[in-house]
């Protein structure tokens, strides 16, 4: 069912900060929908508006056809899993889970039955009589989910539920969350700043930045065809090139003149005309690198360059290759790493190439988004203002860049 | 090994305070209990031999009334202090940090003025010619003949005034540590805000509530200056009686006997609580104990 949970022109300000700016969004019944963005992008505010902890300045929230904008949290058929779990410390696990049904005034027998069902779901019968302080982080997480689900909400809101867990546990809880979703089948709205979490769990993702939504789509759409430089740089890593369209072809492709490189050929679904300025994004893993020159092909962009830096990460190696004024980030997956090829080294002369359909024209471009990219720390200043490498000075501020977290 | 060493270190560190308590609290208390079993001579000194005569006063209807009044006033004081202190603590804990500190200062400021002077201030406020009385008569809330001073009401008012800061301090320090997201969680699960307050916030600050009760109820039971100054003959408390026996009658054993009863009143309730808790614990652990054997 479409339009199950609808946000209409929602705005919310705190003091002078506009946390949510005129957001409209429609979430389908039964899907896992993620709100993804860096901290301070307004995703948690949006969730709190939905739960009823905040009242929007403007706009409406419609759940299953009813306007719930003015309802207090206890009257909404939505439940929240908090980032800090917020389990009641003075109650046992069983009492925590039973809290909702008890408030609803159900009979003792009913409550006991429902709690047992939930304990089955989260497989925690043995720990039922313990206090929250006596169980582990992953178990607290599961109790928080059970405590919310027992009320049979129409929407389950999850506020960075995995943020407090370590990497391995996080990966396991992701799978568990997915299983729980399959079992109960209700709508999940999942808030996270971790793109891997969002990508692996969600049916659809809304990428948020500075209080507005950049793009809504399936993980594939978001990753493969980002509309803005923010989405492209926040979800994974990428290369930005800018130039001018010099020629368009009938097969949805265009030739672009990029200063310092020459012309490249690019997929053109935006129907740009000759003379239009354009920014394109190319994902690092889509650029091929070889020591011999690849065979000429009309749909293949071929450049020569030198390896300026490399980082070995186990499953893949990240290379930074300079071609003219441009520094390209590319990622090479290790298939037979040491067996059939000698890996490229620093200062090796290499050929890089990518298919025309693998570079994507952006609708929106902001130079600031280049700070989200992972670039090697190279001391020397590089001429060429538009070159991505000119942003090296901001390397230190990239600690939270998503591509770094992936390692 | 390591644990035992820490224990000896801890013992060494706490020794001075234990010694202090032993010398200036435990021994004097035991002396008071001892004196209560002595006799008195006409000059106000302790006489020879032991006797239970000092306790004979207790078996007396007027004494029973006095004790009941003392307990009643103390309970009222505690209940009123809690019912003002808990909302204040809640409000303070929810304020911005800067405002919390300012409010803390407001709570503490009365301590900068001498206790006796503050009670005199109350005498002036409540005085028949005082501003408050005249105002209440003016708006016809009380008749001209009514007295605001020298009755139980005045004693209760000043008791609450005196002990309220002592109640707020532990309540605030517990509320300040309380995770207010728990209240959001409770509301999210369908509980109204009042119900969340009672079911989640009050248990959450239970430590603060218990210590607030302790620091209000116990001193209130033993208070003597307040009823002495703003109370009348019908609002005497146990403390006044003790003072009267010691200062006026110069009969130390009688004063000590009353003090002993007061001490027992402080000690017995926590002792019962401790015993109940201990038996609960052992009964809980017993199946495990059997298994391990």
Rounded to 5 degrees, φ, ψ at A79 are: -130, 155
C-alpha span between A202 and A207 (Å, rounded)? 12
Residues of B in contact with A74 (CB under 8 A): 187-193
Contact A187, A134 (CB under 8 A): no
Residue B68 pLDDT more than 70?
Answer: yes
Residues constituting chain B: 293
Contact (CB<8Å) A86/B192: no
* Series of mean pLDDT values for 10-residue runs along chain A (407 residues): 91 90 94 93 94 94 94 94 94 96 94 94 91 92 94 94 85 89 92 92 94 94 92 91 90 89 87 88 92 87 92 88 90 76 82 91 86 68 40 36 32
Nearest to B189 among A84, A90, A151 (CB): A151
Q: What pLDDT sits at residue B160? A: 96
Q: For the segment A26-63, what is each residue's pLDDT rounded down to a tens digit?
A: 999 999 999 999 988 999 999 999 999 999 999 999 99
**What's the token pair of residue A208?**
């948020």
Chain B residues with at least one Cβ partner in A under 8 Å: 179, 181-182, 184-193, 195, 200, 203-204, 206
Residues of A in contact with B185 (CB under 8 A): 80, 82, 86-88
Mean pLDDT of B15-19: 91
Contact A287, A330 (CB under 8 A): yes
Q: What pLDDT sits at residue B281? A: 67
Residue B290 pLDDT more than 70?
Answer: no
Residue of B nearest to A100 (CA): B189
**What's the token pair of residue B202?**
């009050």
Q: For the segment B192-225, what is each residue's pLDDT rounded down to a tens digit?
A: 999 999 999 999 999 999 999 989 998 999 899 9
Residue of A nearest to B182 (CA): A86
Contact (CB<8Å) A147/B206: no
Residue in the structure block whose two tokens are 């200043």? A381
Contact (CB<8Å) B182/A147: no
Mutate to test the interface with A, among B96, B182, B184, B185 (most CBs of A within 10 A): B185
C-alpha span between B287 and B285 (Å, rounded)? 6
Residue of B nearest to A53 (CA): B184
Contact (CB<8Å) B204/A73: no
pTM of the model: 0.80
Q: What pLDDT sits at residue A134? A: 94
Contact (CB<8Å) B179/A100: no
Contact A92, A129 (CB under 8 A): yes
Residues of B in contact with A52 (CB under 8 A): 187-188
A97 secondary structure, DSSP code: H
Q: What pLDDT sits at residue A98? A: 96
Q: What pLDDT sits at residue B269? A: 77
Mean pLDDT of B151-159: 94
Rounded to 5 degrees, φ, ψ at A159 are: -100, 95
Nearest to B189 among A53, A89, A103 (CB): A103
**Looking at chain B, which runs of residues are DSSP E strands?**
38-40, 46-50
Residue of A nearest to B206 (CA): A90
C-alpha span between A208 and A200 (Å, rounded)? 18
CA torsion B128→B134→B136→B139, rounded to 10°?
A: 150
Residues of A in contact with B96 (CB under 8 A): none
Q: How far is A81 from chain B (nearest CA, A)?
A: 8
Residues of B in contact with A89 (CB under 8 A): 182, 204
C-alpha span between A268 and B100 (Å, rounded)? 60
Chain A residues with at least one Cβ partner in B under 8 Å: 51-53, 72-74, 78-80, 82, 84, 86-90, 99-100, 103-104, 147-148, 151
Q: For the segment B44-53, what is each residue's pLDDT rounded down to a tens digit?
A: 788 888 888 8
- Cβ-proximal residues to B240 (8 Å cutoff; 6+ apart), any chain: B224, B227, B228, B231
Residue of A nearest to B203 (CA): A90
Contact (CB<8Å) B181/A82: yes
Contact (CB<8Å) B189/A84: no
Contact (CB<8Å) A103/B190: yes
Q: For the segment B18-37, what is each residue's pLDDT rounded down to a tens digit?
A: 999 999 999 999 999 999 99
Q: For the segment B222-255, what is each residue's pLDDT rounded down to a tens digit?
A: 899 999 999 988 888 999 999 998 888 888 898 9
Residue B292 — pLDDT band, cuts 50, 70, 90?
Answer: very low
Contact (CB<8Å) B181/A73: no
Nearest to B185 among A78, A86, A90 (CB): A86
Of B136, B168, B130, B174, the residue nearest B149 (C-alpha)? B130
Residues of B in contact with A78 (CB under 8 A): 188
A350 secondary structure, DSSP code: E
Residues of A in contact with B206 (CB under 8 A): 90
Residue B129 pLDDT more than 80?
Answer: yes
CB pairs under 8 A between A and B: 60
C-alpha span between B247 and A388 (Å, rounded)? 91
Contact (CB<8Å) B181/A88: no
């Amino acid at each position: 069912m479409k339009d199950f949970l609808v946000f209409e022109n929602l705005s919310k300000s705190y003091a002078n900060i506009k946390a949510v700016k005129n957001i409209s969004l429609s979430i389908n019944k039964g899907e896992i929908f993620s709100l993804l963005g860096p901290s301070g992008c307004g995703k948690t505010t949006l969730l709190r508006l939905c739960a009823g902890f905040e009242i929007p300045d403007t706009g409406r929230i419609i759940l299953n056809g009813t306007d719930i904008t003015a309802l207090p949290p206890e009257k909404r058929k939505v439940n929240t899993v908090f980032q800090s779990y917020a389990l009641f410390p003075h109650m046992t696990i069983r009492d925590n889970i039973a809290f909702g049904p008890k408030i609803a005034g159900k009979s003792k027998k009913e409550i006991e039955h429902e709690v047992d069902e939930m304990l089955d779901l989260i497989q925690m019968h043995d720990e039922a009589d313990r206090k929250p302080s006596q169980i582990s982080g992953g178990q607290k997480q599961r109790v928080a989910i059970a405590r919310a689900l027992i009320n049979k909400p129409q929407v389950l809101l999850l506020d960075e539920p995995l943020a407090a867990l370590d990497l391995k546990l996080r990966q396991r809880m992701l799978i568990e969350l997915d299983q729980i979703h399959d079992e109960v089948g209700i709508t999940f709205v999942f808030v996270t700043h971790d793109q891997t979490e969002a990508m692996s769990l969600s049916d659809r993702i809304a990428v948020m930045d500075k209080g507005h939504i950049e793009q809504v789509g399936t993980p594939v759409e978001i990753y493969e065809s980002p509309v803005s430089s923010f989405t492209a740089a926040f979800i994974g890593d990428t290369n930005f090139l800018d130039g001018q369209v010099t020629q368009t072809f009938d097969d949805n492709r265009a030739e672009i003149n990029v200063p310092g490189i020459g012309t490249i050929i690019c997929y053109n679904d935006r129907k740009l005309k000759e003379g239009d300025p354009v920014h394109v994004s190319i994902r690092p893993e889509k650029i091929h690198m070889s020591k011999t020159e690849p065979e000429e092909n009309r749909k293949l962009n071929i450049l020569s360059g030198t390896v300026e830096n490399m980082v070995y990460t186990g499953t893949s190696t990240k290379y930074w290759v300079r071609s003219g004024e441009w520094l390209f980030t590319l990622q090479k997956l290790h298939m037979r790493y040491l067996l059939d090829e000698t890996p490229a080294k620093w200062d090796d002369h290499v050929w890089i190439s990518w298919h025309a359909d693998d570079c994507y024209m952006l609708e929106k471009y902001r130079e600031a988004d280049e700070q989200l990219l992972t670039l090697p720390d190279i001391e020397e200043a590089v001429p060429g203002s538009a070159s991505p490498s000119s942003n090296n000075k901001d390397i230190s501020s990239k600690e939270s860049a998503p591509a770094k977290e992936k390692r | 090994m390591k644990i035992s060493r820490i224990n000896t270190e801890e013992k060494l560190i706490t020794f001075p305070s234990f010694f202090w308590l032993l010398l200036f609290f435990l021994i004097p208390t035991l002396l008071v209990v001892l004196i209560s079993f002595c006799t008195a001579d006409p000059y106000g000194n302790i006489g020879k031999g032991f006797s239970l005569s000092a306790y004979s006063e207790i078996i007396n209807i007027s004494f029973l009334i006095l004790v009941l009044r003392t307990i009643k006033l103390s309970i009222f004081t505690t209940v009123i202090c809690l019912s003002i202190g808990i909302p204040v603590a809640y409000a303070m804990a929810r304020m911005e940090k800067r405002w919390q500190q300012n409010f803390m200062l407001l709570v503490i400021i009365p301590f900068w003025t001498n206790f006796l002077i503050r009670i005199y201030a109350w005498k002036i406020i409540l005085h028949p010619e005082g501003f408050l009385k005249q105002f209440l008569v003016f708006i016809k809330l009380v008749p001209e003949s009514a007295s605001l001073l020298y009755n139980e009401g005045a004693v209760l008012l000043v008791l609450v005034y005196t002990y309220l800061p002592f109640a707020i301090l532990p309540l605030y320090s517990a509320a300040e540590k309380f995770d207010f997201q728990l209240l959001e969680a409770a509301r999210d699960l369908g509980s109204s805000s009042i119900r969340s307050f009672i079911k989640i916030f009050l248990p959450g600050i239970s430590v603060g509530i218990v210590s607030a009760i302790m620091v209000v109820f116990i001193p209130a039971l033993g208070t003597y200056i307040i009823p002495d100054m703003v109370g009348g003959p019908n609002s005497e408390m146990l403390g006044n009686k003790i003072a009267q026996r010691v200062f006026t009658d110069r009969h130390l054993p009688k004063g000590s006997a009353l003090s002993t009863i007061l001490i027992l009143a402080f000690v017995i309730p926590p002792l019962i609580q401790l015993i109940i808790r201990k038996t609960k614990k052992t009964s809980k652990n017993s199946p495990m104990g059997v298994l391990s054997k």
